Structure 1
C-alpha cells in the first residue's frame, strides 16, 4: 500500500468513477483497476462493489474513513521532507557571543524568519570557549564568535573586525583627553568582563604590551551590562563600539592609541560539516553576506 494507491482509492470514492479517478491521476483505467485489486489483495477484504454504480463495502467505508487522515499525514510528511531537502524547513541551533547576540542578530533573524517561516531557530548566548565546545559536541550547528583556539576539527571563517573604544563618565578626568594611551588607565577603576571572555584577554594583552600595568579592576560578568555600570559612575570600560552608538546619557567615548584595539569575529563550525547544508547552509550564507557588510 502506497500513497498513490490511497489517493486513487479516495478519488474513486469522491467521484464514484474509476474513469474519473484515472483522469485525475493521469493513469490508464487499467492501472487504476490493478491498483485497487492489489490493495484489496493486500488487505484481504473487498473494498468496492463494482456495477453500474460503484459503492463501498462495509470494509471499504471503514478503510476510507480511517485512511483519509493517513493520506493527509503522508502528504504532510512528504512536503516536510521536500522542504527540508531544499533548505526551506528545519531546526537550526546556533550559538552567539555578545555584543552580536544583542546588537546584530535580532534584526537579521527577524528578516530571515519572515522570509523562511518554516525554519525554526534556537539561539544560545555564551562565550567563545563554551561555544567552541558545543560545536565540537554537535550540540549547536555553528557559532558566531571571536576567533577560537582552532584544531583540525574546526573551521572558522573571519568576517569582520570588532572595534573597541573607552567608555567613561563625562566628568571623568580622562574625558579631557581626545585619545588615551593604555598607561593612563592606571589610577582609575577599570570595569572588566569574566576571565573566560576573549575581550578580557584582549584587554590584558594590551596592558601587558604597555608594561604590565597594574590596575584597580571590577569584574562584571556581562559584556552588555558594562555600559550601565559606567553610566552609574562605577568606572571606565573598554567596550565594542557598536554597544555605545548612539551615545549613553552621562557618558563619553574616547579612542585608545597604541595596539590595534579590535578582535576578529566570524562563523565557527565543524570542519566535517563545512560547507553547511540544508537550512543551516541557507542561514550560514545569508549571515555571511549580512556580517561582511559590517566591515
Structure 2
C-alpha cells in the first residue's frame, strides 16, 4: 500500500473534499484522483462515493477508522527521525568513573534530560580501564574517565582537571593542621582505592618517593565508600576535591602542601566516532559547558 495515497485519502476525509486536499498537499486535482483510484484498486473496494457531495462508502468509513493509526505512527516516526537528525532524540550509553559519576553527573544529566527529554540515557560506572575496554568493544558510546593508554584506538578530549586533597577524621591528630605533607602522614594509615584506579597509581608513586615502602595502607575498592571509612576513623584518604565535602564534625579536608597531585578527566570515544554526532554531540557539548563552568568557579574561588 502506497503511503502517499493513504495520506491523501486521510487528508480528503479530514478536509471534506478532493479540491481542498489538493490545495493543501500542493497536488493537481488529477493527481489526487489518481491516488485514490490506485488505492481503491489495491484494496478492491470503493472508498468514496462518486457525486457532488463528498461521502465515504461503508468500506471507506471502516478503512478510515482502521488505518488512522498508520498515519499517526508514520507521523510519529518522521518526527522521531527529524529529532534524531537534529540530535534531539536517540539513545546514549554513557560510562563514568567515580567520583564524577556520583558527585558531578546527577546534576548535569538532570539538566541535559530536561533540555532533551526524547533522548534515552544509560550510565555505566566503573574504573577507567574497564570503561575504555567497553568503548572499544562497542558496549558504550562514550565515557568520562582518565586518559587511555597511548596507541589505543581511542580519542580522549580533556574537559576537567581536579586536585587531590587529604580527607581526615575530625578527631585525628593531623586535623588541626591547615595543610599536610606526605612526611606528616607516613606514620598513619592511608586508605587506598583499587589497584586499577588512576588516583591510586599517582598516590603510590608519591608515597614511594616521599615515604619509602614502609607505609600502613588499607585497600578500599570503592571510591565512593572512602569517605565513610575516613569518618569511621580507619585512616586518611587522598580524594578528589569535589568529593571532599564535609560537615566538619566527622571529617575535614586539608590541602597537600608539598606534592600536589592532579587528575585530568575527559570524554573518551572511539577515534573513528570523533567528532561525535547526533545525540552524543549534544551530550558532549553539555558536559563541556558544565565542567568549564565548574572549573571557572573553582578558579574564581
Pick the TM interval, shorter chain.
Answer: over 0.9
Alpha-carbon distance between aligned partners in 2 of 1:158 and 1:227, rounded to the nearest angstrom = 26
SS of the equivalent of 1:255 reads strand
Q: CA deviation at 1:248?
A: 4.1
TM-score by length of 2: 0.91
List runs of 5+ in structure 1 lacking aligned partners. none
Aligned equivalent of 1:33: 33
Question: What is the aligned length?
Answer: 295
- More displaced stretch, 244-253 vs 233-242: 244-253
List runs of 5+ in structure 2 lacking aligned partners. 296-301
Is it true that 1:163 corresponds to 2:163 in the alignment?
Answer: yes
The 1:52–1:179 alpha-carbon spacing in structure 2 relative to 1, beyond 3 Å, is closer
Aligned equivalent of 1:144: 144
Is it true that 1:6 corresponds to 2:6 in the alignment?
Answer: yes
Is it true that 1:91 corresponds to 2:91 in the alignment?
Answer: yes
Asked if 1 retains the 8 angstrom alpha-carbon contact of 2:164 and 2:260, the reply is: no
SS of the equivalent of 1:202 reads helix
Asked if 1 retains the 8 angstrom alpha-carbon contact of 2:170 and 2:231, the reply is: no
Q: CA deviation at 1:87?
A: 0.6
Aligned equivalent of 1:52: 52
Aligned equivalent of 2:285: 285
Alpha-carbon distance between aligned partners in 2 of 1:148 and 1:183, rounded to the nearest angstrom = 31
SS of the equivalent of 1:55 reads coil
SS of the equivalent of 2:143 reads strand
Alpha-carbon distance between aligned partners in 2 of 1:291 and 1:253, rounded to the nearest angstrom = 22
The 1:258–1:213 alpha-carbon spacing in structure 2 relative to 1, beyond 3 Å, is farther
Alpha-carbon distance between aligned partners in 1 of 2:213 and 2:148, rounded to the nearest angstrom = 26
Asked if 2 retains the 8 angstrom alpha-carbon contact of 1:180 and 1:257, the reply is: yes
Asked if 1 retains the 8 angstrom alpha-carbon contact of 2:99 and 2:240, the reply is: yes
Is it true that 1:254 corresponds to 2:254 in the alignment?
Answer: yes
Alpha-carbon distance between aligned partners in 2 of 1:138 and 1:271, rounded to the nearest angstrom = 12
Aligned equivalent of 1:273: 273
TM-score by length of 1: 0.93
Alpha-carbon distance between aligned partners in 2 of 1:35 and 1:100, rounded to the nearest angstrom = 58
Q: CA deviation at 1:260?
A: 2.8
RMSD: 1.8
SS of the equivalent of 2:37 reads helix
Aligned equivalent of 1:62: 62
- More displaced stretch, 167-176 vs 280-289: 167-176
SS of the equivalent of 1:293 reads helix
- More displaced stretch, 236-245 vs 128-137: 236-245
Is it true that 1:104 corresponds to 2:104 in the alignment?
Answer: yes
